[in-house]
Structure 1
Amino acid sequence: MIFKRLFNLFAMGVLLFTICVAPSTKVAAADPSAQPAQKIAVAQALPAPGTYKIDPDHSFAYFGARHHVVGLVRGRFDKVAGTITASQDLAACSVDVTIDVSSINTQISERDEDLRSPVYFDVKRFPTMTYHGRGIRRVDGGSWTMDGSLTMHGVTKVVPLTFTFNGAFSDVKPGRPARMAFHGSAGLKRADFGMGARDNLEELGGLMTTDVEIEIDVEADANSPTQ
């Protein structure tokens, strides 16, 4: 049953999807102690300013949920959509992601149906989960964090997302938009979203740390430049 709770942690979404970055020159200038090699590394860690549309066919949100404290159950959501906006102004970077909760996939159909039921996600009442965030801060030379709001099962909570920019595709065909890749991670407690009270009592006991870990891999295409 704990498996179901773990799925909620994903929404975040979203993905994915919270991978907004700022221009490298701006970041490098903010660190006067950076050496030329460090500036190059920072430049490679940031995409060009603009709006990027998440490609649902090449974006995945995985989760690992604690099972009886020492075990771990893995799964994913197969339908993710949204946009990522990168700006020279770090405070203007944003991410908006929507996940189809019914697309949950743990490779066990009976368990997936149980997770979709009112006992857990209750997809008929709450068909989607969303992640909305604006503004990022640098964790280190290549990692960033956004404090976005995750709405799942009718509950909204702030869930920090840490992400890295993996780079731009070098083999994009002429006439096609630039494509970027990102990786993100987040942690949360399923009980915070009002799901699986029975699991919380029977399987997690007094565990105080996050019991669901999320991994997000996203590919997104450039849409239009920001001003």
Structure 2
Amino acid sequence: MTFKKLFGASLIAATLATPVVTQAAPADYEIDMAHTFVLFDVNHLGFSNMPGRFAEFSGELSFDDENIENSKVSIAINTASIDTFHAKRDEHLRSPDFFNAAEFPEMTFTSNGIKKTGENTAKLSGDLTLLGVTKPLELDLTLNKAGAHPFNKKTMAGFTAIGTIKRSDFGMKYGVPNIGDEITMRLELEAIKK
């Protein structure tokens, strides 16, 4: 066998023996509604920070456990489902003074970028639409845990995302400054790999 043929055969064999490295694609996850919460705090007259939540929402999560920057999330929140643990106040919050839930039944957040900042932390950026107004929103994201659920063995991921909005930026100006303009938003999210 000539050198040329031997070299060619060796090259082909080496090529076939080389492992192919593929990049994992993000996987779709189903949001675990029993363990996911959309929460907020607003200052009340300087005396306290009033907590609240939205009870009804839906969302989609695509998560890359090898490179979180390839992940994305979107969430749609039913504004009429606001719950501050006081029925009369909640009724007022649904009115045109605040969320105007009859005309704007949904508030949405759609991510458009994730920048890793630490081993389990990142900046999650996206667009928040409230009262028909869309503004950029950046959230501090923490990956709490990803892996097998200890009981049902399903692949899970859990996150906390925290950020602040100025409600007046969206046209919600009632009561400012006595009722806080800055609202702290918090998402506690668990999701199951599909």
Query: TM-score scaled to structure 1, two decimals?
Result: 0.67
Count of aligned pairs: 169
Higher fraction of helix: 1
Deviation digits for residues 110-132 of structure 1, max 9, x if unmatched? 00011111221111111111100
Q: Distance between the aligned counterparts of 1:137 and 1:201, measured in 2?
A: 33
Secondary structure of the 1:51 match is strand
Q: Distance between the aligned counterparts of 2:161 and 2:177, measured in 1?
A: 30
Matching residue of 2:14? none
Higher fraction of strand: 2
5+ residue gaps, structure 2, are 1-22
Matching residue of 2:174? 198
Matching residue of 1:63? 40
Q: 2:44·2:178 contact (CA, 8 Å) conserved in 1? A: no
Q: Distance between the aligned counterparts of 1:116 and 1:153, measured in 2?
A: 12
Matching residue of 1:102? 80
Q: CA deviation at 1:57?
A: 2.2
Q: Does 1:116 align with 2:94?
A: yes
5+ residue gaps, structure 1, are 1-25, 27-47, 205-209
Secondary structure of the 1:136 match is strand
Q: Where do residues 156-175 of structure 1 align in structure 2 (5 Å cutoff)?
A: 156-167=134-145, 168-173=147-152
Q: CA deviation at 1:193?
A: 1.0
Q: CA deviation at 1:50?
A: 1.1
2:109 counterpart (116, 124, 131): 131
Query: TM-score scaled to structure 2, two decimals?
Result: 0.78
Q: 2:111·2:124 contact (CA, 8 Å) conserved in 1? A: yes
Q: CA deviation at 1:91?
A: 5.2
Matching residue of 2:51? 74
Secondary structure of the 1:135 match is strand
> Residue type matched to 2:174 in 1?
R
Q: 2:115·2:123 contact (CA, 8 Å) conserved in 1? A: yes
Structure 1 vs Structure 2: percent identity of aligned residues?
A: 30
Of the two structures, which has the highest relative contact order with CA contacts closer than 8 Å and spacing of 6 or more? Answer: 1
Q: CA deviation at 1:70?
A: 5.0
Matching residue of 1:212? 183
Q: 2:120·2:144 contact (CA, 8 Å) conserved in 1? A: no
Q: Distance between the aligned counterparts of 1:58 and 1:203, measured in 2?
A: 30
Q: CA deviation at 1:141?
A: 2.4
